[in-house]
Amino acid sequence: MNIEDFIRDIPDFPKPGILFKDITPLLANHKALVRCADQLAQCYSGDVKIDKVIGIEARGFILGGMLAERLEAGFIPVRKKGKLPYEVRSKSYGLEYGTDTLEIHADAIKEGDNILIHDDVLATGGTAKAVSDLVKELGGVVVQFNFIMELGFLHGRDKLDAPIASLLEY
């Protein structure tokens, strides 16, 4: 089973000129979803235990939670501004079609926690870099970034300073 078969292209979303890679067909197929989660878990073969997996809103939550389960780690949701109910740390960032702000609970990470950051796609790297900065501000160590896909032509990996794994590259 090839997970790429379950990703569809949506032209001009969210604005003209953007080719959006839609993972909802992947999420809707049980076998494809499980295979994707298993492959993402196999992407981490480091020698330190992952303490927590961060899933980035919103698509990163789904497989991030599954990845945390497979790695026997806790799960931390990183959300858009104003969505978390407790004291937060915030970081604004640029993305390929605008700007946004992400937040994490101030007590989500303990000093020295080994963190794996997961999202569905690595594009310009702004989102992942912002989350990495939040992890470091809270005393965590970014051990790896995991993505379902990477849009290599946007050079997002150039902004990141830990190993990167992605299942697909465009």
Amino acid at 25: P
Alpha-helix residue ranges (DSSP H) falling in 77-156: 126-137
Tokens read off for 84: 């978390």
**Residues marked as catalytic:** 59, 96
Pairwise CA distance, residues 153 & 46, whole Å: 27
- Strands of the sheet containing 74-80, edge to edge, are 88-95, 98-105, 74-80, 52-56, 114-122, 141-150, 164-169
Pairwise CA distance, residues 10 & 19, whole Å: 6
Q: For tokens 């407790």, what's the residue? A: 86
Own/partner pairs, 25-29, CB within 8 angstroms, 24+ separation: 26/148, 27/62
